[in-house]
Structure 1
Amino acid sequence: MSGPLAGLRVLDLSSVVVGPVCTGVLAEQGAEVIKLESPDGDLLRKLGGKGRTPGMAGKFLNFNRGKRSICLDLKHPRAKAVLARIAARCDILVTNIRPDAQKRLGVDAATMAEKLPRLIHCSIVGFRTDGPYAGKPAYDTVIQGVSGIAGCFEASTGEPRYVPMLVADHVCGLIAAQQIGFALYRREKTGRGESLEIPMFENMAAFVLQEHLGPMSFRPALGPPGDQRVLSPEARPLKTADGFIAVSANTDAQAHGFFRAIGRPELIEDPRFANVAARTAHTRDYFALRATALVGRTTAEWLELFTRHDVPAMPYNTIESLLTDPHLRATGMVREEEHPTEGATFAIGAPNILSGGMAPTLPAAQRLGAAGPDLLAEAGLSAQEITDLARDGALIQPEETT
């Protein structure tokens, strides 16, 4: 592997989405990621929808490219010693195992720091461990509810809803990768590792408050919370004659260009819309105007007009149409490839560029335990020791998994 993290090794004790997002970013940047799974495997192997073979759901494939899978039964007394051997070769440990379970397995930050002082230990938790919610189980929807994300929908539409994707998991996984980068930089200066705690609730609550606290930032409050431009039920793709289009017109130049494009230049002088402050004060009127302004022309016609008037606008994509988006195809973000065990698939590429080049194409996600024997051999175990671990049930070999 190439990339800024080439030569670093990550022990991934995470599952489902938030941890795999984090370790996926590290893999994209060149780190070797060892994904340690239980005999049941990552829940996403089954929870991620249909697959061609058991344990290889499409969603799992997308979150676990570039990771080497080893399957250990950590309830087996010999497996913990194997885990320690693997961890001793790693620079970074990422886990979303609950703190009490980390201690039982001996992979909590304090225990690992005593053995491996250079290790970056990253624990992704639902709630900070110094508060009253410490240790409570957390999934994405739980975090969306408690952090106020679902409440934003209520403020917008009158009904609490979840964002229809695992937004808290994605965001917090990316934050974890960011914090690991900071810790690696400090380790370069001090020679010592770091213990990181990435709480999902606090991170997502901060996002909501930064976005919507607004006038309530002041004491006494200058008004109710909520950015009405974002909360407006009309803040959505606009209907055209043949579909929808995504348009934004925030600056004065953009808004005036929008009015000219729709054939209403007189609105530039309308006191409700003349400048940013006026449009903010009359968000409901401004958005209501936009909601019905585009039904007379096709999306393609509006794209040409908005380009001419320098108004930010792009085609509206469905999940399905993203697969054929010409830009994503041209950049290699979406491509077709042959998975070594699952056949023809769509693959999602790395989105970011460093030093003028894309991150390398990562190997496909592996079946449960596929790299186990190789990883143990690399950790110094003999062929006989590996055979004995498999015979005793501590190591689950690939051919035994489902």
Structure 2
Amino acid sequence: MTAPAPAMAPPATPMALDGIRIVDASRVLAAPIATQTLGDLGADVIKIERPGTGDDIRRWGPPFLKDSDGNDTTESAYYLGTNRNKRSITLDFTQPEGREILFKLLENADVFVENYKVGDLARHGLAYDQIRERFPRLIYASVTGFGQTGPYAPRPGYDLLAQAMGGIMSVTGDPSGQPTKVGVAIADMMTGMYTTSAILAALRHRDATGRGQQIDAALLDTQVAWLMNQAMNYLVGGVVPGRLGNAHPNVAPYEVFASADGFVIVGCGADRQFHAFLQVAGRPELAEDPRFVDNSARLANIDALRQVMGEIVATRTTDAWVSDLEAVKVPCGPVNTIDRVFADPQVQARGMATSIPGHALNPEGVPAVAYPLKLSETPATYRRPPPILGQHTDEVLTGELGLDAEAVAKLREAKVI
């Protein structure tokens, strides 16, 4: 595999979120994805962690980051994937002194992000309704499993639970097997993405009106929202969709087929594409077969179509099919393992693997998956590697909040920081 390109230096032009400060009291995955994305776009993100333990996912390994000598550190790959472009301070805001420090941070913050269970922060005077008058311009983003309202609001929420209750598992997996979760924590990730866009919308509203607001983000709501065409098929057609394996509920053929040496995707969203596939396959007569004459017929005869397609595709290698079908503009591609993803010339050309130098435990660099969108004027930058626990506590408290060294020492002795 080609080594990742080093992270680029920040551009001379301002970043999109220059001057935006985010106080991030979140952990694990959904909300940290949102704050990392905002950090990539230029926001100053201060991550608040529990003294002594920090974010739970720091310990979710192996694998762990290696130090310069090749030994495991305490920083998990899971944590590294969601916490770049942040500064870490340790702070126990359940103590009065810690709460006052949090308030000082919020005085100069644009956004506060938290993902505590409903009611947890209210016990410490930190719920949105309790602080909104003191910080009228603050955008307060709350990320939970089930939202701030409804009968399930008090419940803890997890990605797997959201995938199950939100319906995606019912349409994922082999029809003859179990319901299957998506191979990454997609409910968490999509909630992070939706939260990011909501924060950006709220910032625009705040800049226009001077008023902040609360964002109520829930894993279950997000999971329901991105059922997309499957949800609409049910709402419009009244039929409950089921598991189709790799097949598409509305288009055929559109799935994975075994080639002579692996697997290949063939997707024909138009009759023209299916006819082009048949020409390449040497079976043009099948275009006149009543079972396959158009998309509706192919869907109605999906088992027969799958058998015929399987026999055809098995006669050539994956690379041969990709070459032959790309030439006639039929969507196709290999089913890559993760190593092949990062070895793919297109992925490399797009710079999707990068490295962030300067980590406290490995100055040579931390590998990272790049922010995927390319902004022509304000591109994402990777200014800070994921911080070790409390790495920036003294920097923030003394350099930005004005506390002296003696005061910081007393806070540390009292385990407030």
How far is the alpha carbon of 1:123 from its aligned partner?
A: 0.4
Higher RCO (CA-CA < 8 Å; seq separation 6+): 2
Q: Which residue of 2 aligns with 1:399?
A: none
- Once the two structures are overlaid, the 10-residue window that deviates more, 303-312 or 267-276, is 267-276
Q: Does 1:166 align with 2:178?
A: no
Q: Which residue of 1 aligns with 2:402?
A: 380
2:74 is paired with a residue whose SS is coil
Q: 1:356 to 1:209 in 2, by over 3 A?
A: closer
2: CA distance between counterparts of 1:214 and 1:367?
47
Correspondence for 1:43 among 48, 56, 66: 56
Q: 1:224 to 1:44 in 2, by over 3 A?
A: closer
Q: Structure 2: 5+ residue runs without aligned partners?
A: 1-9, 67-71
2: CA distance between counterparts of 1:322 and 1:355?
25
2: CA distance between counterparts of 1:365 and 1:392?
27
- Once the two structures are overlaid, the 10-residue window that deviates more, 166-175 or 80-89, is 80-89
Q: Which residue of 2 aligns with 1:304?
A: 323
Q: 1:312 to 1:235 in 2, by over 3 A?
A: closer
Q: Which residue of 1 aligns with 2:389?
A: 368
Q: Would the aligned equivalents of 2:25 and 2:48 in 1 still touch at CA under 8 Å?
A: yes
Q: Which residue of 2 aligns with 1:187?
A: 206
Q: Which one-letter code corresponds to 2:63 in the other structure?
A: K
TM-superposition CA deviations, 1:13-59 (whole Å, max 9, x none): 11111011111111111111111011211111012433135531112
TM-superposition CA deviations, 1:80-135 (whole Å, max 9, x none): 11111112211011111112112123332112312110011110111133211111
Q: Would the aligned equivalents of 2:230 and 2:241 in 1 still touch at CA under 8 Å?
A: no
Correspondence for 1:353 among 357, 374, 385: 374
1: CA distance between counterparts of 2:200 and 2:307?
44
Q: Which residue of 1 aligns with 2:414?
A: 392
1: CA distance between counterparts of 2:318 and 2:180?
29
Compute the TM-score of the two structures, normalised by the length of structure 1.
Answer: 0.90
2: CA distance between counterparts of 1:31 and 1:67?
9
Q: Does 1:150 align with 2:166?
A: no
Q: How does 1:191-230 map to 2 (within 5 A)?
A: 191-208=210-227, 210-214=229-233, 216-217=235-236, 221=238, 223-226=239-242, 229-230=247-248
Q: Structure 1: 5+ residue runs without aligned partners?
A: 396-402
How far is the alpha carbon of 1:139 from its aligned partner?
A: 0.7
Q: Which residue of 2 aligns with 1:398?
A: none
Q: Would the aligned equivalents of 2:39 and 2:45 in 1 still touch at CA under 8 Å?
A: yes
Q: Which one-letter code corresponds to 1:315 in the other structure?
A: P
> RMSD in angstroms over aligned alpha carbons?
2.4
Q: Which residue of 2 aligns with 1:6?
A: 18
Q: 1:123 to 1:216 in 2, by over 3 A?
A: closer
Q: Which residue of 2 aligns with 1:280?
A: 299
Q: Percent identity?
A: 31
Q: Would the aligned equivalents of 1:76 and 1:393 in 2 still touch at CA under 8 Å?
A: no
1: CA distance between counterparts of 2:165 and 2:345?
39
How far is the alpha carbon of 1:280 from its aligned partner?
A: 2.8
Compute the TM-score of the two structures, normalised by the length of structure 2.
Answer: 0.87
1: CA distance between counterparts of 2:262 and 2:87?
43
Q: How does 1:11-26 map to 2 (within 5 A)?
A: 11-26=23-38
Q: 1:140 to 1:307 in 2, by over 3 A?
A: same
- Once the two structures are overlaid, the 10-residue window that deviates more, 9-18 or 297-306, is 297-306
Q: 1:330 to 1:390 in 2, by over 3 A?
A: same
How far is the alpha carbon of 1:259 from its aligned partner?
A: 1.4
- Once the two structures are overlaid, the 10-residue window that deviates more, 155-164 or 251-260, is 155-164
Q: Would the aligned equivalents of 1:350 and 1:358 in 2 still touch at CA under 8 Å?
A: no
Q: How does 1:66-215 map to 2 (within 5 A)?
A: 66-153=85-172, 156-208=175-227, 210-214=229-233
2: CA distance between counterparts of 1:370 and 1:346?
19
2:133 is paired with a residue whose SS is helix
How far is the alpha carbon of 1:162 from its aligned partner?
A: 1.6
Q: Which residue of 1 aligns with 2:7?
A: none
2: CA distance between counterparts of 1:13 and 1:331?
32
How far is the alpha carbon of 1:383 from its aligned partner?
A: 2.7
How far is the alpha carbon of 1:344 from its aligned partner?
A: 5.2
Q: Does 1:237 align with 2:256?
A: yes
Q: Would the aligned equivalents of 1:48 and 1:60 in 2 still touch at CA under 8 Å?
A: no
2: CA distance between counterparts of 1:345 and 1:148?
36
Q: Which residue of 1 aligns with 2:5?
A: none
Q: Which one-letter code corresponds to 2:218 in the other structure?
A: P
2: CA distance between counterparts of 1:251 and 1:332?
32
How far is the alpha carbon of 1:140 from its aligned partner?
A: 0.4
1:181 is paired with a residue whose SS is helix
Correspondence for 2:45 among 8, 21, 33: 33
Q: Would the aligned equivalents of 1:272 and 1:279 in 2 still touch at CA under 8 Å?
A: yes
- The number of residues matched between the two structures is 392
Q: Which one-letter code corresponds to 1:45 in the other structure?
A: R
1:208 is paired with a residue whose SS is coil
- Once the two structures are overlaid, the 10-residue window that deviates more, 294-303 or 134-143, is 294-303
